[in-house]
Amino acid sequence: RAIAPKSVKVVVKSLHGGMPYVSPTDMPAYKAAEKAVEATFGKKPLPFYSGGSIPIISGFESILGIKSLLIGFGLAEDAIHSPNESYGLEQFDKGVETIPLFYKYFAENE
C-alpha cells in the first residue's frame, strides 16, 4: 500500500496456505532414498531444506499419520518456475535410475 499509486486500490486476501513439513532423516524411507541416490550418483546425498508449496504433504501426516519423503533431481541452475526454467536430460535419466533402487532398498528394510 505504501508504494501503490493513489489511483490503485490494494486489497490482499489470504486464500489458502499449507503447514510446513520436514522429512525426518532417520526414517526407513529416507535411508532407502539415501542409499539409492548414492548408488546412482556415486555420492552420499546431503539433506536439503527447500521452500515449496505442496500442502498435501503435511496433510498426509496430520490426517493419515504417515511421514512423506520428496526426492528432487533438479539442479539450482534449472531455475524452477522461472521464465527460463530447464531440466537436463541427464538429471531426468538419473532420476529414472534412482526411483526403482529406492523401492528396492525400501522393500528390503521393511
Burial of 37 (0-12, 13-18, 19+ CB in 10 A): buried
Q: What is the pTM of this model?
A: 0.78
Query: What is the model's pLDDT at position 83?
Result: 93
Q: Is the pLDDT of residue 34 over 80?
A: yes
Crossing angle of helices 28-41 and 89-109, in 10° steps, is 140
Q: What is the mean pLDDT of residues 14-40?
A: 91
What pLDDT does 44 receive? 93
pLDDT at 5 over 80: yes
Q: What pLDDT does 78 receive?
A: 94
* pLDDT in the model for residue 33: 97
Residues 61-70: contacts with CB under 8 Å, at least 24 apart:
61/21, 62/19, 67/23, 67/24, 67/27, 67/29, 68/21, 68/23, 69/23, 69/27, 69/29, 69/30, 69/33, 70/23
Grid coordinates of 12? 490482499
- Residue 19: pLDDT band by 50, 70, 90 thresholds? confident
pLDDT (tens digit per residue) in 46-95:
888 777 778 889 989 999 999 999 898 989 899 988 999 999 999 999 99
Give one word for 65, left, alpha or beta, with left for phi > 0 and alpha for psi -120 to 50. Answer: left
* Residue that is written with C-alpha cell 546425498 in the block: 45
Q: What is the arithmetic mean of pLDDT over 15-44?
A: 92
Residue 18 above 90 pLDDT?
Answer: no
